[in-house]
Structure formats: C-alpha cells, structure tokens
Structure 1
Amino acid sequence: MKKLNLLIVGGGGREHALAWKLAQSPRVAALYIAPGNGGTEQLGTNVPIDDNDVNALSLFARKNQIDLTIVGPETPLAAGITDVFHAAGLRVFGPSRLAAQLESSKAFAKGFMLDHDIPTAAYATFETYEAALAYARKQPGRVVVKASGLAAGKGVIVCDDRAQAEAALHEIMVARRFGNAGNQVIIEERLQGPELSLLAFTDGRTVVPLLPA
C-alpha cells in the first residue's frame, strides 16, 4: 500500500489534533504543517508559509509531491485554496470558495437556508448602520447581532435588550471591531434551547455522521 505525503494547512489547536492523529497512521510517509505551531513541530515538519498564501502553498505541494492537503482554517477556504489546488491538479480536502461562503458569510448562509426551506431563525440583513439601528429599535430587544463575515468566532453578540443591540451595532458597524467582517450585519431572532453542532462527511451519496459537539 502506497504511503502518502500529507500537508496540513493551519497553525492552531485543530491542526495540532489532525497532525497528532495522522502521525499515528502507518500510511503516512511525510507530514508537513503550514505554518504549524510548537506542538505540530514534534509530529511533522513545520513549513514557514502563511496559511492564507494559497499560491505559495500550491507551489510547495507540487514541489514536495503532496498526495493530499487538508485545510483547517476558514480564511484560506474563503480565499479559494481548494479552487487553486484543483486547478493545479492537486488533491485537497475542503470546500470550494463558493461552498465556503456557508461559513464565511452569515448573510449568504441565511439566504441559502431561506432558498432551500431549511429552518432558521427569523432575521434581517443590513449594510448601513442607520438602517440596522432603525430596525433594532423596533424589535422586542432580545435579539442576536452578527457580523456577517469571518471574525475568528467572535462576531456574534447576544443581546438582552435594545440598549445592548444598539451598542452591538455601534461596535460592529461604527467602531469596526471586526473590520470588514462587519460590512454586513444580521439582526436575528433570539432562540431559546440547547445548542449543538452535528457534522458529517459525505461523498454526495453516503453520509457518515461524526459525534455531536
């Protein structure tokens, strides 16, 4: 059975966990992590390439005969790393730039759910502070304010009253706490109940669920 050269893109705890598990496989010939961290350095070879430099990563994969690249972070996926790799004839695990919008744009994801009759909380999307503020002042107060773009998991603010909603909008759209991630804002109905994440792998025909998180 052929042994594989693998490249993991990313430098966080998620990538360390992937490297830790993949390093245990007898099918792995070489394991690279770009850029990696102190933990991954003990498991494979760290590569000093920024995880957003998709062209440099593609060049590295070609030069080092990488059999499969696994992408961890959302930002390179949103930048189209899988599209670049596919165009170069490289195998990569991760969604295309278009599909990654389900993660990189909350406005896109909400619209997708609406178009395909997928249940989701009631919401409205805004691109100006004034319009968002006027809408928030008409709501009962208990809403969720979200920066639409990628904000490192910090762009969601749960509000108990109108004052908190107004402050959240100012923080995102005026103070620009999350930068361009706040160019669009979603004001969403606040739902009550337990929250969980359920992930699955699929090849388009078969679905294999993971344990709920």
Structure 2
Amino acid sequence: MRIMVVGGGGREHAIVWALKKSEKVKEIFCAPGNAGIAQLAECVPISVMEFDELISFAKDAYIDLVIVGPDDPLAAGLVDAFEAAGIPAYGPSKAAAEIEGSKIFMKDLLKKYNIPTAAYETFTDYESALSYLREQTAPIVIKADGLAAGKGVTVALTMEEAEKALREAMVDKVFGDAGNQIVIEEFLQGQEMSILAFVDCETVRAMVPAQDHKPIFDGDKGPNTGGMGTYTPLPHIDPAIVQQSIDTIIIPTAKAMVSEGRPFRGVLFAGLMITKDGPKTIEFNARFGDPETQVVLPRLETDLVDIVLASLNGRLDQLDIQWSDEAAVCVIVASEGYPGSYPKGKVISGLEAAEAQGALIFHAGTAKQDDQIVTSGGRVLGIVGRGRDIAEARNRAYEAVAVIDFEGKQNRTDIAAKALV
C-alpha cells in the first residue's frame, strides 16, 4: 500500500515508525512531516489545513490510505473531504471530532448519558462567568471551549489565578475564538490516566494505558503544555480500575456518539482522573494522543495497518490486538521558553549517539538546515526508553536525554517517578 500520514509532530513520527514495520506498506508519504520523519518517509510540503492540496497530492500519488494525525484538520472535516474524493481516510468525521473540538459538546454529551465527569457550568458571557466564578472556591478549572493546542486549560490554585485565566480566555482572547465560550469545572483530585482506544462505532478496542505529565516543570509545577512525557504500563494503578474506565466511560461514550448520529471511527483518547469516587472524564481527544502515542505504539505487536483497515471495513470486532509486556518511558525535550514563545534554529547534537544506546527518538519540532537537524518547535524531541519494567525503561530514556544537546534545551527530570514510589 501507499500510505499518507497527515501531520508533522512526534505523534506522526511514531505512527510512521509503526507503519514502516508492516509488510503491507510499500511507500509512506507525510505532509508536512519533519526532519526525523524524513528518514522513514517522503515528506511533502503541504500544511495540514490545505485540504485541496492534500487531496490533489493523494490522487496524483495514487495514495491507498490516509491517516490524519492532528486535531485541527479532523475538527475541520479533512476525513470527510478525503472520503468525498474517494480516498479512504482513517479518523473521525467532522461531526464525530466535535467531541474534542468543543469541550461544551463533550461535557453536555457526558451529562446526557450519565457518563462520569467533573461538575461544570458553561458560559458565553464574561460578566456572567465572573459572577459565577466568584461564588466558587479554589482550586478550580477554567477551559476554553475550542481547540487551543493543548494549552486552553488552566488548573487555578487560587481565585486570582482563576480570574486571570477567565479574563485571558474571554476578554484578551489569548486563544482566539476558542475562548468565545468557556467551561468552569470542579477540580478533580487523584491519579491521571490516559486510555487510547481504536473505535469503530460501538466496537471499542482499548490500547494499553499510559500517564502523561502536562505541566512544564518537575513536581507538576508551572503552566500546562502539550505534554512533557509519558509512560506505560501503570504498575501503581489496579487493572480493575483500568477496566472500569473502559466499561463506564469509553464504551458508553462510543455508544452515545452512535445514538447522537455521530458514529466515531478512529482513535478515541480519554483523559481520566481516578478519584476516590472512581474514574471520571477530564477530556476526550479525537485522535492519537501526543506524547502518549510515542510509548503506546512501541508496545503494539499487531500490524497497525490491519487495525486501521479493520476499522474502516467494519471488522474491528473480529480482530485480536496483541501488546508486548515491556515498559516504555518518553521524555520530551523542549525549547527554552516553551510553552511560551521560544527560539528556533538551534543545532541539535547527540541524536546518533542516543539511538546507538537503543533509544527511540521521535522528532516533534525539528527541521533540516544545511545538513544539520535544528529545532523548529516548542516540543523538539520525544526520547523513548524501553525495558522489562518502568525503572529500566526510565533509566534508558534519561541516559539518551543526557547525550542530546542544543542551546536552551529543557526537560523534566521526574517523568514516570510516580510509578516507582
């Protein structure tokens, strides 16, 4: 098969890496890709939102299958556009992708179908939101309704922080139109857990669970990012809790989407909090998570192409998906200043030495410049160590991080530490 992956981050590098292992794949293209993906696939300089150009290229290159990585093109209907052009595409329709594209849609769906989530109120008017907020107590969560590159959520520990977040979203428009409507939500305490699932309407095949680290600094301090590291498995979380999350949250949500006339086909990603009252939903994403994909796909033993084709052909329920028992830990190496503004074009050294140690290196924000690989994003690399258990995988990841360098490099030093307590 000739396959095109849409996107250019660490998630897409991991997807391309997994596809490359399949005997069913003849050639892989990636639009727009990055310097790491270019080592495995032919990168095509087309942006993820240039729908007409993507479809035109897919036709000219005789693409048999498209896999869409990022949230923005899914929410804007790229899968629908490919299908209308007669090109099979893996990912949810525009209507189904609204489960990520609108937090208010998601919260209202969960409420309607009695699926566990945090208590909340939604607002379109700043004064009303502020009035309600002042009746609450901290900690409290403020969420922009729309897509904001993983940065539209503030966990406010003080009321001053909460009011600032509300003002920034609704008045200052730091997230643009994504902040026209907001959700004010109760703060949930407990362990976070990410479960990605291959979904074909009401058929759900959960992947192995992972845990993300959103704040920029050690100890979960500082502003939220797109994710600073992940690991799998979760030895400190009871497998019964994982199964409860699948049974009470993910499967009912897939069925609810069918009932709403928005059947979901693709990867549904549940961000969960394990509270004293059981698992509750923090968020849903309508695609492979980033950086969860970078640790989950290395554990996948079944051919990813077989899973995608089974989903598209309505046969996912007939597929037995196998996972390895090994552990994987991903440490994100980021640019100085991220998640705020950051410089680009810093030369990266040590990549070959890290790979020689056995690490998997997934490029997130990199580019090629005069035969050198340079930084071009906030999150630059995902360094994945693998081993018999979390401790071994973690040591291997950090050994590789130590040999990679660029000016202003930053990373957390406590990824997966929770699993070792």
Distance 2:94 2:192 in 1: 27
Going from structure 1 to structure 2, the CA distance change for 1:205 and 1:100 (only over 3 Å counts) comes to closer
**In structure 2, the residue corresponding to 1:199 is in which secondary structure?**
strand
Q: Aligned residue for 2:379?
A: none
| Letter of the 2:164 counterpart | A
| Letter of the 2:103 counterpart | K
1:86 corresponds to 2:83: yes
Q: Aligned residue for 1:70?
A: 67
| Letter of the 1:59 counterpart | S
Going from structure 1 to structure 2, the CA distance change for 1:169 and 1:205 (only over 3 Å counts) comes to closer
- Which protein has the bigger strand share? 2
Residue ranges of structure 1 left out of the alignment (5+ in a row):
none
Distance 1:155 1:205 in 2: 30
Distance 1:6 1:47 in 2: 13
**In structure 1, the residue corresponding to 2:111 is in which secondary structure?**
helix
Q: Aligned residue for 2:196?
A: 199
Distance 2:124 2:200 in 1: 36
1:159 corresponds to 2:156: yes
Distance 1:21 1:174 in 2: 43
Q: Aligned residue for 2:19?
A: 22
Distance 2:62 2:72 in 1: 24
Distance 1:189 1:149 in 2: 19
TM-aligned CA deviation for residue 205 of structure 1: 5.3
Q: How many residues align?
A: 210
1:134 corresponds to 2:131: yes
Distance 2:55 2:109 in 1: 30
TM value normalised by structure 2: 0.49
Aligned residues: CA RMSD: 1.1
**In structure 2, the residue corresponding to 1:202 is in which secondary structure?**
strand
1:169 corresponds to 2:176: no
Match of 2:3 among 3, 6, 9: 6
TM-aligned CA deviation for residue 186 of structure 1: 0.5
Distance 1:183 1:70 in 2: 30
In the TM superposition, structure 1's runs of 4+ consecutive aligned residues that sit over 2 Å from their partners are: 202-207
Distance 2:202 2:175 in 1: 38
Q: Write the deviation string for residues 87-139 of structure 1: whole angstroms up to 9, x where unpaired.
A: 11110000000110101111111011111111111101111211111110011
Distance 1:209 1:129 in 2: 39
| Letter of the 2:148 counterpart | A
Match of 1:179 among 167, 176, 180: 176
Q: Aligned residue for 2:121?
A: 124
| Letter of the 1:144 counterpart | V
Answer 1 or 2: higher relative contact order, Cα 8 Å, separation at least 6: 2
Q: Aligned residue for 1:188?
A: 185
| Letter of the 1:79 counterpart | A
Taking every aligned residue pair, what percent have the same amino acid on both sides?
A: 52
Going from structure 1 to structure 2, the CA distance change for 1:205 and 1:113 (only over 3 Å counts) comes to closer
Going from structure 1 to structure 2, the CA distance change for 1:79 and 1:207 (only over 3 Å counts) comes to same
| Letter of the 2:39 counterpart | Q
Q: Aligned residue for 1:147?
A: 144
Match of 1:105 among 102, 105, 109: 102
